[in-house]
Amino acid sequence: MTWQKYNGESIKTSIWDAVETNILKEIDLGNKLKVYIGTDSQIKRGTIDFATVIVFLREHRGGFMFVHKDKRTHLMGIKERMLLEVQKSIEVAYELCPLLEQYQVDLEVHADINTNPNFQSNVALKEAMGYIMGMGFVFKAKPESFASTTCANKQVQ
């Protein structure tokens, strides 16, 4: 899985090493971090583009993020696509969880799913919430899911 920084620069090391390096750097600078992971997707000309982000927020000092993009040509319904977004986020969260726990960095997993039943994505809300919380992660959906709704969304446009 290839990752890049927000500016497009490729991350040459494993995502584990890149996250750990940045956590240590921020600790040395006296910053308290919180991590948010989210995925968004868009359908373009028969292809589904996905972007997964790891957002690092410094308490009262801004933040930065890492991005992974991929594509699928298999078209799917809205519920399947929403749950695939959640799966992509959980895979990253699960991989990084031991590292974040080691450095006592709080983690939230964000889903680009609307809590309002009038929106199509709501069909996946219960399953997504159960999936994320069942894995032991803090779950946020729209309007609180900025990692997926805003950060990842900007990467798939």
Q: What is the CATH number of the domain that holds 130?
A: 3.30.420
Query: Are 49 and 41 contacting, i.e. CB atoms less than 8 angstroms apart?
Result: yes
Domain that holds residue 71: 4-156
Q: How many domains does the chain have?
A: 1
CA atoms within 13 A on the CB side of 153: 11
pLDDT at 1 over 80: no
Integer-rounded Cα Rg, in Å, for the chain is 15
Neighbours of 107 (CB within 10 A): 17
SS3 content of the chain, % helix, strand, coil (to 5): 40, 30, 25
The answer for 74, left when phi > 0, alpha when psi is -120 to 50, beta otherwise, is beta
pLDDT at 157 over 80: no
**What pLDDT was estimated at residue 75?**
81
Residue with tokens 């991005």: 67
135-144 residue pLDDT tens: 999 999 999 9
First to last CA, the chain: 20
Q: What is the mean pLDDT of residues 51-56?
A: 98
12-48 residue pLDDT tens: 999 999 999 999 999 999 999 999 999 999 998 889 9
Residue 10 DSSP one-character state: B
Order of strands, sheet of 138-142, starting from the edge strand that comes earlier in the sequence: 4-5, 63-72, 47-58, 33-44, 106-114, 138-142
The answer for 8, left when phi > 0, alpha when psi is -120 to 50, beta otherwise, is left
- DSSP, collapsed to helix, strand or coil, labels residue 76 as coil
**What pLDDT was estimated at residue 45?**
87
pLDDT at 52 over 80: yes
**What pLDDT was estimated at residue 46?**
86
- DSSP, collapsed to helix, strand or coil, labels residue 137 as coil
**What pLDDT was estimated at residue 74?**
84
